[in-house]
Amino acid sequence: MKAFLTPGMPKKAAYVVIVGFIALAASFATLWAPLLDDDRSYDPLDPNYFRFARVQFSSYYYGGWNPGWAHDYPRAEQNLLKILSEVTGIETTSDSYVIVQLDDPAIMEYPLLYFSEPGTWNITPEEAENFREYLKRGGFAIFDDFDGPRDWANFQRCMKMVFPERNLVQLTVEHPIFQCFYAIETLDMTPPYRVRGNPTFFGLDDENGRLQVIANFNNDIGDFWEWSDQAWVPVQLSNEAYKFGINYIIYAMTH
């Protein structure tokens, strides 16, 4: 959320907008505290259910009222999991989500890891080693909600610590991940807010050509999931975002 001050706005009105925005941010900060301390999301869940794992990581920088890794949490998970269960029959519930750390061996239990705002990601050698092993064992990772040259440079730096010899490549709509459940027709997405570039999808393959990582660059698909039931974004755009998310999960569970 951003506050916009228009040219010619009276100083008193501008002051009211700024004060109101600060108060709103403070209220959100209060709301976020119990969410980030939610013990339920760390409890072991029924292994027969699919679980959506979000990665908690340290950042070299973040602004706003919550850390970047937690943006859209937990509403994005709750809404996506509900749709996933309804359209695929995969056993899951809206509560089937967890928060994990990359240096925890427990990440091996989850077929998919989700990263929010990797543009501020600060990975340690220990995390890089465990993440590398996770991907080698067949794990899959989604990177979402980052844009612009600085975010991209930092994301590449972190991934080079994981796989120094590999390079991210731009994906086309013909890639199996975009056709494995829904037949996605175009990658020309409209982002949920202004970003510094055109939405582009990048991937990282293993030595056998299996896609291990997908990056939604100059985009924030999780934002569509979060607000899809609030009528803040057009239904068509939310539906497309769900198609991407469901395809990612199906691909992760079948490849």
pLDDT tens-digit map of 93-136 = 888 999 999 999 999 999 999 999 999 999 999 999 999 999 99
CATH number at residue 156: 3.40.50.12140
Q: How large is the average pLDDT for residues 172-200? A: 96
196 and 77 part of one domain:
yes
21 and 144 part of one domain:
no
18, pLDDT greater than 50: no
Residue 231: its pLDDT value, please?
A: 77
40, pLDDT greater than 60: no
Q: How large is the average pLDDT for residues 160-176? A: 98
26 and 68 part of one domain:
no
7 and 74 part of one domain:
no
Split into its structural domains, the chain has a count of 2
137 and 239 part of one domain:
yes
pLDDT tens-digit map of 63-75 = 556 799 999 999 9
Within 13 Å and on the Cβ side, how many CA atoms surround 104? 15
26 and 48 part of one domain:
no
110 and 226 part of one domain:
yes
pLDDT tens-digit map of 211-241 = 999 999 999 999 999 999 887 789 999 999 9
216, 142 contact by CB (below 8 A): yes
Residue 216: its pLDDT value, please?
A: 98
28, pLDDT greater than 50: no
- More confident site: 40 or 190: 190
224, 189 contact by CB (below 8 A): no
Residue 64: its pLDDT value, please?
A: 58
Q: How large is the average pLDDT for residues 199-203? A: 98
Residue 65: its pLDDT value, please?
A: 63
48 and 31 part of one domain:
no
154 and 168 part of one domain:
yes
181, pLDDT greater than 70: yes
33 and 77 part of one domain:
no
8, pLDDT greater than 50: no
35, pLDDT greater than 70: no
Name the residue range of residue 3's domain. Answer: 1-37
Percentage of the residues of the chain whose pLDDT score is greater than 90: 72
